[in-house]
Structure 1
Amino acid sequence: MTLDGGRFEACYWPKPGKRLYVLLSGARDLKTKAWPNFDRWSWAPLFPGSVLCIADPTLALDTTRLRIGWYAGTATQDWTQSLADLVRQVSHTIGAFSSQVICYGSSAGGFGALALAARLGDATAVAINPQTDVLKYHVRPVRQFLKLAFPDQDGKEALTPEQRLRLSALEAVLAATQVKCLLVQNRKDLHHYREHFTPLAKRAGVDLRRSTRTHPRIWTMLYDGTAKHGPEPRNMVVDIIAAAEALCRQGRDDDASPLASASPQGATHGGKPPLAKTAAQAAPPETLVQQGSVQEGKDAEQKQDALDRSELEIEARIQDRHLVVRAKMQRPAQYSFYLYKDQERIAVQKYAESNEARWPLDTEGTYWAKVYVLGPDGTKISGRSRSLQFGGPTRRPS
């Protein structure tokens, strides 16, 4: 489809529920990857929600020469905003708000995920070894990008302040105070660790020494891979998705009444306000769902008996061909467990005081559970266990 002069090619895998994953692509090899390319499209079954893969429209400006575009658009067309408008339309078709959208990508796709989440206002971004400032990336690809996308500007020194702001995911994330980010970074990828991850982490006040979930909205997962720049290791994907789900749901109950989110006020194509202003306007007031009604978050926090999502710990293991899931809270509560195989719910354990559930496993597949916790005052929170692979029953020799 064409939006604001840009070609937005996409693939869509609808699934039940109100979670939408938006997968964005990074740089492409001009010799081996034709445009449009959809990174991770074959991983769609792994994601617990609908999956929308969108190719970078900036690369369509010159498919023979341009290998990286950051979903930025051109000097006159802000295609990051167009991308956000498209994602809103798709999310509305499944009854989801932008707070239920998870934007996922690595490298230039990681930049796009951060920038898109900021434009949506309160989405969650998963950025793996991302660039956070286009102008701090390697000189040659940046020069080629500016030559084709910003032809009237003679190099980066000629960019306007608004254009520079569009090319900084770091500033976008810091300005959008309702956005949540999971930064996955290879410490041995020195350029991206030093020039892109570290500046964002420092500005946000995140501990650089270790993986952490202590920051209220920016979590980190650090690993030691090869010295080359690249995507996430395949064996980390399940843990990355689980962390993204936990971060997205923190302080919210997606299954009751999602947080409302509106398009940024005053954002019109051809005359958009600067990104920092747009993100601030898009951020909705903090709310907390309680028993089907929406109350002010600050008022709810004053209730001493209200449940806190950060208190919930979920453990999962396979033992003796059973999936065992245990939830831990620091106060009395009742627990309900939903068992899933791959993306299909196959069993339910209704609310009870027992904080553990056990299910026999007889067929191979990927199993996980969703846990709902009901407090004495009627408040409800939820969380998701990690996914575990079961290879099927062991056959005894005859």
Structure 2
Amino acid sequence: MRRIYDPGEPERLTPDYRDDVVFTWDSITSFHDAEPADGVHVITTEHGQLEILTGGSPWNVAQGPVLMIFSGAVQRDEGRPPPFFSGRGIATATGLPFIAITDPTLALRDDISLGWYAGNAWQDVQQDVFNLVLPLAETLGRDLWLVGGSAGGFAALDLGHQLGKRCSVLVWNPQTDIMEYSRSYVVAYLQAAFRVSSVKFAAEGWKRRGRQVMRRFGRRHSVVQGILPSQAPARLLYLQNSGDWHVQKHCSPYLEAHGYTPNGGNIWRRDADHVIWMTRFGEGHAPPPRECIIDLIKACIDPGTSILTTVRRLSASEFFGEQDERIQPRDLRPHADDVDKAVHAYVNDRNVTVCMDGVASGTAGLHWVVQVWNQQGVRIATSPLQRGWMSWPAPHSSEPLWCDIDVFDGLGHDLATRRLKIPAAR
């Protein structure tokens, strides 16, 4: 097979396997043909290698469940070298066989912490991981659980939608489109993985250019676009922290694209075994507590109980503590006219203020964003997401400016817009 891109393949960082026993294999096929013992396995693929850590002899079991765990952002303090395996402690606590896999792209450079297992110009990581796990998926089916959070959640969802009913998925706060993540991290990944210039991603349109780069190399960046709901894994629990900005940018597009509907309170479902649970378990993008992840895994693997029944039971027991239903994200599009009538916005001494008649801050996840434009129509500033009725200081300018204020519901639907003039600074 011809290499897609070879401007001089980079030298990979020297790994440190610490005290683990290491086995090497010259191909995925030779690994499959053996009965691999537990330890680190370094498997050569057509244009790279995969490194996995196994415990409980996952490839030697006749029936599940088995966990396959993907890493999120890694800590590269003090020059820590790859590989980066996550989940050994969690898997051990559940008593289940496990596979922890490191992201090969993180071995290209020591200044990136995210790769989403989406591959690079030299290695189709997504296809390699699929080829590696396919025989196990065909044996275990729904008892192969793909697990991960944030970037690892994206990888678990992506592989889950490729394997379909031959696996199940448990994720928390996942990205569902790499290009909707923070620009600095995405651009760092694109530079390392595809040797693109950061200059091309410094202005408007960087997301479009990023998507073009990944499509050019045949790497998937989204589990929202181009995937049919029928390609879903056998079971899916998508756990989303309700105070995380991922609700609007990642969770909402996914649930709408895949046909999830409200099922009361903070639960969305496609059916009894495909559930999105929006609840509060920390600040912002914080993951669930370790003990909660362990208990969730133990609850989800019960073959006789649906995911929906499990979530309802845990929600009723205040599994993540007492929840304020008032601030849970909701789809307010049916009430868009009422919201629009209630919104008030004004500028006072260059402070942009937004409030709503009779609606408390944070209700249903309501929030607003300000974009500021100069007289030439160039956007010069965007406010952070504002979750309460408050003021935001506009930038100073010697000329008058304009601002567009957009009010969104908790799922990111635009419900009301206001345009105001900001006077020139005195």
Q: Would the TM-score normalized by the shorter structure come out above 0.5? A: yes
Task: Give the conservation status (yes or no) of the 8 Å contact 2:52–2:102.
Answer: yes
> Which digits, 9 at most, give the CA deviation of each residue in 1:9-31, with x for residues without a partner?
21111256432210110111221
Partners in 1 of 2:177 and 2:311 — Cα distance? 35
Q: Identify if the C-alpha distance between structure 1 residues 38 and 249 changes in structure 2 by more than 3 Å, giving closer, same or farther.
A: farther
CA contact (8 A) 2:223 2:254 kept: no
CA apart distance, 1:44: 1.8
- TM-score norm. by structure 2 comes to 0.52
* 3-state secondary structure, aligned to 1:97: helix
* Alpha-carbon distance in structure 2 between the residues aligned to 1:147 and 1:184: 31
Q: SS of the counterpart of 2:224?
A: helix
Q: 1:221 is matched by which residue type in structure 2?
A: W
Task: Please give the TM-score of this superposition, normalised by the length of structure 1.
Answer: 0.56
Q: Which one of 293, 297, 312 corresponds to residue 237 of structure 1?
A: 293
Larger C-alpha radius of gyration, 1 or 2? 2
Alpha-carbon offset, residue 125 of structure 1: 1.3
Indicate conservation of the 8 Å contact 1:118/1:172, yes or no: no
Q: Name stretches of at least 5 consecutive residues in structure 2 with no aligned partner.
A: 1-42, 202-206, 314-426
Conserved in 1, the CA contact under 8 Å of 2:145 and 2:170? yes
In structure 2, distance between residues paired with 1:10 and 1:114: 19
Aligned partner of 1:228 in structure 2 is: 284
Q: How far did 1:240 drift?
A: 1.8
- Is 1:8 paired with 2:50? yes
1:347-384 residue CA offsets vs partner (Å, 9 max, x unmatched): xxxxxxxxxxxxxxxxxxxxxxxxxxxxxxxxxxxxxx
Whether the 8 Å contact between 1:30 and 1:67 is mirrored in structure 2 is yes
1:317-356 to 2 correspondence within 5 Å?
A: none
> Is the alpha carbon distance of 1:213 and 1:235 closer, same or farther for their aligned partners in structure 2, counting shifts above 3 Å?
farther
Query: Is 1:120 aligned to residue 155 of structure 2?
Result: no
Partner of 1:22: 68
Distance 1:192 1:312, change over 3 A: closer
Deviation for aligned residue 1:313: 12
Change (3 A) 1:121 1:314: closer
In structure 1, list runs of 5 or more residues that go unmatched: 252-308, 316-398
CA shift for structure 1 position 172:
6.3
Instruction: State the shift of 1:175 in Å.
Output: 5.1
| 1:88 matches 2:134 | yes
Residues 37-186 of structure 1 correspond to what in structure 2 (within 5 A)?
A: 37-47=84-94, 49-62=96-109, 64-75=110-121, 77-90=123-136, 96-122=139-165, 123-151=167-195, 155=201, 156=207, 157=209, 158-159=212-213, 161=215, 166-171=220-225, 174=228, 177-179=231-233, 180-186=235-241
1:211 aligns with 2:284: no
SS in 2 for 1:9: strand
1:239 deviates by 3.8
Aligned partner letter, 2:280: D
Letter in 2 for 1:4: E
Q: Distance in 2 between matches of 1:59 and 1:136?
A: 20
Q: Secondary structure at the match of 1:110?
A: helix
Q: Which of 249, 253, 267 is the matching residue for 1:195? A: 249
In the TM superposition, residue 49 of structure 1 has moved relative to its aligned partner by 3.4
The Cα of 1:85 is off from its aligned counterpart by 1.2
Q: Deviations over 1:53-106 (max 9, x none)?
A: 1111111121x11110000111353211111111124557xxx23433110000
Partner of 1:301: none
**Number of aligned residues:** 253
Q: Counterparts of 2:97 and 2:122 in 1: how far apart (Å)?
A: 32
State, as a whole percentage, how many aligned pairs show the same letter: 27
